[in-house]
Structure 1
Amino acid sequence: MPRATREYGREAEHLWGVSLRRQLAEQVWLALRFGFDADVYYRYRLYLLGDLRDAVLFIPTPTNVALRHRVRGVLGYDVSIGDKRQFAERCCEEGLPTAPIVAEFDGGDVRWGPSAEGGVERLPARDLFSKPADDLGGAGAARWVWDGAGYVGEDGERLAAADLVAHLQTLSQGQPHVLQPRLVNVPDLDALSPGTLATVRVITAKGPGSDPEHVGSFLRMAMKDQPVDNFDQGGLAAPVDAETGRLGPAIRKDLRFAARDYDRHPTTGHAIVGARVPQWEEVLALALEAHRTLTDVSVVGWDVAVTTSGVVLVEANTAPDARFQQTGLRPLGTTAYARVYLDVLDAG
């Protein structure tokens, strides 16, 4: 029996009643017909399809990467919003709400932002958040909780302001970092992502000379003690209904858990299914406006937060991973995602 079927097949059989024999037969058929591997089969639960031929509507990761490279060959590559420093500047220029930058760190140097308290080179006495300026996936992000005497990091160690600055200067020798105020969820979202900012990933697509369209959205939620909500870092993701803003069952990216639905948050027990993203209409409108004004990149994943200070843009991903098809199990071939890419290639 293939390794993938041994590792993931029994869970699918247990939860969905699909025999291992059938799983094996379907994987062979999909490999011969479409070149799909076991990752695609188990990640998108293709064993639940009524007609296996519909699997062709899902876009595997290698195909998605190839599409992006082809489109970039036509349009070029806009790096102005992928870097978190430039993203914040562009948002400010266009009047779009975003998290301010307290300081930027690059090659050991510090550049202080306008949100530094009093405009002087010292840190504000409040919770802060640092992250790599030019990376994706949430790796390297850290919370810094102000306790009245200093900033407490993920390891529980308290740093004075000067020590935190020195720490980030050292990190920036290998990779630039930004330091921002720590954003806080509105209460309705805090039970779904305890202690960690939950963001809505809104995917939008824009063809040549056209307005951006909504492709799909999902709410990202952290598990216990995670500093970030990122899907790549083990967090949960639940699809958002475009009409109502209500959530479907959450899933995890790890293939070991890909067959499971999470109707409730494993840490808090709070219901996920049926919960509504607060101010959903504003969240969607902000993502579409950002795509309209900030970039001509065809497909963008916008991270939008509903915070105690309002709805804000957190960052933009100009290379969204096709594996978000896991959320809601909606194939990209049925959305504007594939159509826009094809329109760009036809126009080029």
Structure 2
Amino acid sequence: MLKVLRRLREMGVVGMNARNGDYIARYNSRRCYPLVDDKLRTKKLATDAGIAVPELYGVIEIEHQIGRLAKLLEPHQEFVIKPAHGSGGNGIVVITGRTNGRYRRANGALVQLDDLAHHISNILSGMHSLGGQPDQAIIEQRVVFDPLFEPLTYRGVPDIRTVVFQGVPVMAMVRLPTLQSDGKANLHQGAVGVGVDIASGQTIRGVWMEEVVAEHPDTGHPVAGLEIPHWDELLTLAARCYDLAGLGYLGVDIVLDRHHGPLILELNARPGLSIQLANGFGLRPRLERVESLAVIPECAERRAQLACELFADPRRQRGGGDTQEQRSAATEGIAVGPRVHATA
């Protein structure tokens, strides 16, 4: 066990205790948590800042309002229901269409209006919220993801998670829904995490259920070598979210809609650590590199450019220096097996 811990430390892997103590407690003021823990507040902040988010169709705050659910849903063939204070994808229901008066979920199952009403009632009771507190139900636009991802997803919407530190994007991955994850882009539920080279926006390697994979388990399509469109814009959006929320250590989830381009899905004050497994690198060298900077640019676009300069994946470089990160990459990267107590 000591050898495993020493190996992880040498590779710069950040564990949960280090994440909580060295970064979250140190750089995230608790007064800012409500800005990201409440998806309605996050959506308003982003909208006010001119940042695109999925359109809000309605909010149900109390049981009595469930009686107007049919009228609220009438104009929309597709939509998403989610708890305002949910986490880890819990409580999210995606409706992709209607058939004979019933609603079709993303997994193909047909449900009735009463089923949706019951689910919303559970949301209001706090069944899916952080801490089990009474909640609100959000009904919003269903994202239609960029067709680039069609061979790499199973009945769900892939997203791009970026960890942003002191306003600088330091690591990114694509999260791909699977049959096992029930179409949700959450690694601990069975989605595939695919590391992304910060400099180029190209996918590197995949991890599924803590095993390195070359292909999506359901579609069989290779996960490496994908060029993510709008990458510069996406990276700048992630950097802008630091100014939006005021959190020094932040997870930013962005989706690529085929009609509207990059949309901010949500922000996370406690981003999980599986992103390290997906990339094959530990976070600590990158976090320490940002901490060592004498000056961090105020401009989000410049911070995104800085990330590309600092954190280009050495496995994609030709020549160059011999940094610790490159020496680690010259071997096998993070070996999947020892658990990092990571969630996503």
Task: Give the TM-score category using the shorter length.
Answer: 0.7 to 0.9
Of residues 187, 191, 195, the one that matches 1:239 is 195
Of residues 142, 147, 152, the one that matches 1:182 is 142
Query: What are the equivalent positions in structure 2 for 1:35-74 lying under 5 Å apart?
Result: 46=8, 54-55=10-11, 57-68=12-23, 70-71=25-26
Of residues 227, 241, 249, the one that matches 1:276 is 227
Query: What are the equivalent positions in structure 2 for 1:211-226 lying under 5 Å apart?
Result: 212-224=167-179, 226=182
Which runs of no fewer than 5 residues in structure 1 stay unpaired?
Answer: 1-26, 35-40, 47-52, 207-211, 344-348
What is residue 128 of structure 1 aligned with on the other side? Answer: 79
Bigger-Rg structure (1/2): 1
Q: Is the 8 A contact 1:68 1:319 kept in 2?
A: no
Q: Is the 8 A contact 1:101 1:178 kept in 2?
A: yes
**Letter in structure 2 aligned against 1:145:** T
Pairing 1:171–2:123 present: yes
**Cα distance between partner residues in 2 of 1:341 and 1:321:** 23
Pairing 1:191–2:159 present: no
**Cα distance between partner residues in 1 of 2:292 and 2:86:** 24
**Letter in structure 2 aligned against 1:196:** G
**Letter in structure 2 aligned against 1:282:** E
Q: Is the 8 A contact 2:251 2:269 kept in 1?
A: yes
Which runs of no fewer than 5 residues in structure 2 stay unpaired?
Answer: 127-134, 295-344
**Letter in structure 1 aligned against 2:104:** V
What is residue 160 of structure 2 aligned with on the other side? Answer: 200
CA gap 1:341/1:201 in 2 versus in 1, 3 angstroms: farther
Of residues 100, 104, 121, the one that matches 1:152 is 104
**Cα distance between partner residues in 2 of 1:261 and 1:277:** 20
Post-superposition shift, 1:188? 0.6
Q: Deviations over 1:220-253 (max 9, x none)?
A: 001126231111211000111112111111102x
Pairing 1:308–2:268 present: no
Of residues 91, 100, 108, the one that matches 1:140 is 91
**Equivalent pairs, count:** 281
Q: Normalising by structure 2, what TM-score?
A: 0.73
**Letter in structure 2 aligned against 1:308:** R
CA gap 1:152/1:341 in 2 versus in 1, 3 angstroms: farther
Q: Is the 8 A contact 1:88 1:100 kept in 2?
A: no
Q: Is the 8 A contact 2:155 2:178 kept in 1?
A: no
Q: Is the 8 A contact 2:195 2:275 kept in 1?
A: no
Q: Is the 8 A contact 1:138 1:232 kept in 2?
A: no
Pairing 1:99–2:49 present: no
**Cα distance between partner residues in 1 of 2:184 and 2:122:** 22
What is the SS of the residue equivalent to 1:322? coil
Post-superposition shift, 1:159? 1.8
What is the SS of the residue equivalent to 1:90? helix
What is the SS of the residue equivalent to 2:185? coil
Q: Is the 8 A contact 1:132 1:140 kept in 2?
A: yes
Q: Is the 8 A contact 1:108 1:170 kept in 2?
A: no
**Letter in structure 2 aligned against 1:178:** I
RMSD between superposed Cα atoms in Å = 3.0
**Cα distance between partner residues in 2 of 1:110 and 1:74:** 35
Query: What are the equivalent positions in structure 2 for 1:106-117 lying under 5 Å apart?
Result: 106-108=61-63, 110=65
Of residues 298, 304, 319, the one that matches 2:248 is 298
CA gap 1:332/1:168 in 2 versus in 1, 3 angstroms: same
Q: Deviations over 1:288-347 (max 9, x none)?
A: 12222x12110111110111122111111111123321121211111136854999xxxx
**Cα distance between partner residues in 1 of 2:88 and 2:123:** 17
CA gap 1:223/1:166 in 2 versus in 1, 3 angstroms: closer
Q: Is the 8 A contact 1:126 1:181 kept in 2?
A: no
CA gap 1:279/1:321 in 2 versus in 1, 3 angstroms: same
**Cα distance between partner residues in 1 of 2:246 and 2:140:** 27
CA gap 1:69/1:276 in 2 versus in 1, 3 angstroms: closer
